[in-house]
Amino acid sequence: MKILVSDSLSKQGVELLERAGFTVVVKSKMPKDELFREIKDADGLIVRSGTKVTEELIAAAEKLKVVGRAGSGLDNVDTPAATRRGIVVMNTPGGNTVTTAEHTMSMICAMSRRIPQATTSVKAGKWEKDKFMGVELFNKVLGIVGVGQIGSHLTKLAQGVGMRVIAYDPYLAADRAEKMGVEMLSIAELFRRADIISVHTPLTPETKNLINAQAIGTMKPGVMIVNCARGGIIHEGDLYEALKSKRVAAAAFDVFEEEPVKADHPLLSLDNFICTPHIGAQTAEAQENVAVGIAEQIVDYFTKGIARGAVNIPSVSPELLPRLQPYLSLAEQLGRLETQLCEGGLERVTVEYSGDVTTLSIAPLTIAVLKGLLTPIMESPVNYVNAPIVAKERGIEVKEVKSTDAGDFTSLIRVRVEAGKQSRLVAGTLYHKKEPRVVEIDQFKVEVVPEGHMLFIHNIDRPGVIGMVGKVLGDNNINIVRMQCALEKRGGNALLIIGSDQAFPAHVLNTIQSSKDIVSVKVAALS
């Protein structure tokens, strides 16, 4: 079998593949035509961040069975296209956690003591001691936005140098935060109190430009800001103005909205801004770990049929996968929907299986629920391998229940989440044995296709509500793909569900929410 390695990979990983008997072709930075020729007869492909595994490249791969990413991020891999072709996509979760947290801490130290600027000055033949006045980290307040694996490890590092850590993470259970010695706050309060702010969230519509001019205006004068997570979480233009006026004393970036960053980017002109070229995971130890890790996973897949580290299938035998796959998709979508509907720190997840689905192995299905539940809220990728570990680290209790009675359905999966002293329920089934449908949301019976951008409006059952919502969406050129109204009782509570092929802007949601008959408005993005 041929394994194509199209980006640089530690030699330990290559040697492991060769010892297993594979033909390994290592060619990095290939021109497009050469890459397409090499992929044609490859059984496996290993990439880093350089190779773009597009739908076009996948279509050209006649024998490809697995794509392995030596690292955690999969921004450069079209996973849905690979899934449609039955190609397994796997990565090495957790391999970069320590490295990225350490890089963030290094950036905090370098920024606070102006080390890069002082180095440049000395190398220019100067000795400007008075110019490079720094600040101590001891007793300073570090505000961490997003306490996932990287944010958790950064917490330990910061506490080790005597910093006090506060955090914002709406999905972290309170007892877990208490054990970490972290004070949980609202994001507004964190912005107000932190001396240094470090972001560790995924880039989503909710976190896009999370730190902007308005947010900066609520922070302490002289605050310092770090981004080693994802470009786009911090509005770069607004940060430039705040750094220039010294409202923000300093900032440090390892990531940019557009990479490679252009030489004329305004931030690069500022003396109080330091940066690195997305090297948070660039250590010898991390690179060896991910290289050996992905090589071992590839060997296991081809020799044992076990897909460890797969992001689009669980570690089940190839024979069972076709029957399990539709339920996996349903379970993941139920989890993804739940986490976007509930509020507060996740405390407990109960998954109830009823009917025919109980004859299958339910362990992978519960993992799929956790993967869907955690993916929207974690900075680091969540997959079928690390989802149970991440849930445990965040103090989330997971419970499985089986029942033979599925009511009106052949099979039913119910997911109940307890978060912030509230309980939310979603349930789903398969139509025609393969099409996922959501059939319950709390007390409402529904029939919802879980895909695209969805709007959930909890309202009082009164005339004119549907018309008002339709007009607001129409006035803002938002196309309605699907609409359904579920009623608890006449004149009581109702649930209006709208599906669209585009996102719902904040001002549209605010307009709908302002109506006197609207109880709540929530959105969910489902793949």
Residues catalogued as catalytic: 230, 259, 278
Separation of alpha carbons 7 and 51, rounded Å? 7
Strand partners of residue 5: 26, 46
Instruction: Give me the amino acid identity at 11.
Output: K
How far apart (Å, rounded) are the C-alpha atoms in residues 365 and 88?
17
Q: What 3-state DSSP class applies to 215?
A: helix
Please measure the distance between the N-terminal and C-terminal CA atoms of the chain and give it in whole angstroms. 33
Strands 422-431 and 411-419: antiparallel
Dist CA 88 CA 308 (whole Å): 10
Distance, CA of 219 to CA of 33 (rounded, Å)? 51
Which residues pair with residue 437 across a beta bridge? 429
Q: Which amino acid, one-letter code, is at 152?
A: S
Compute the distance between CA of residue 183 and CA of residue 177 in angstroms, rounded to an integer. Answer: 7
Phi, psi of 509 (to 5 degrees): -60, -40
Residue type, 35: L
Q: Which residue(s) pair with 441 in the sheet?
A: 426, 444
User: What would the two tokens of residue 149 be?
Assistant: 């694996």
DSSP 3-state of 515? coil
Residue 322: asked if its preceding bond is cis (omega within 30°), the reply is no
What's the one-letter identity of residue 48?
R
Instruction: For residue 105, give Cα distances in angstroms to 77, 116, 136, 231, 279.
Output: 29, 15, 13, 18, 13
Nearest-CA neighbor of 101 among 140, 47, 159, 168?
A: 159
Inter-residue long-range contacts of 302-307, CB under 8 Å, 24+ positions, other chains counted: 302/1, 302/22, 302/43, 302/44, 302/65, 302/66, 303/20, 307/66, 307/88, 307/90, 307/384
Q: CB-based burial of residue 231 (10 Å sphere; 0-12 exposed, 13-18 middle, 19+ buried)?
A: middle
Beta partners for 455? 498, 523
Strand 248-253: give its sheet, edge to edge. Answer: 183-184, 164-168, 141-145, 196-199, 223-227, 248-253, 273-275
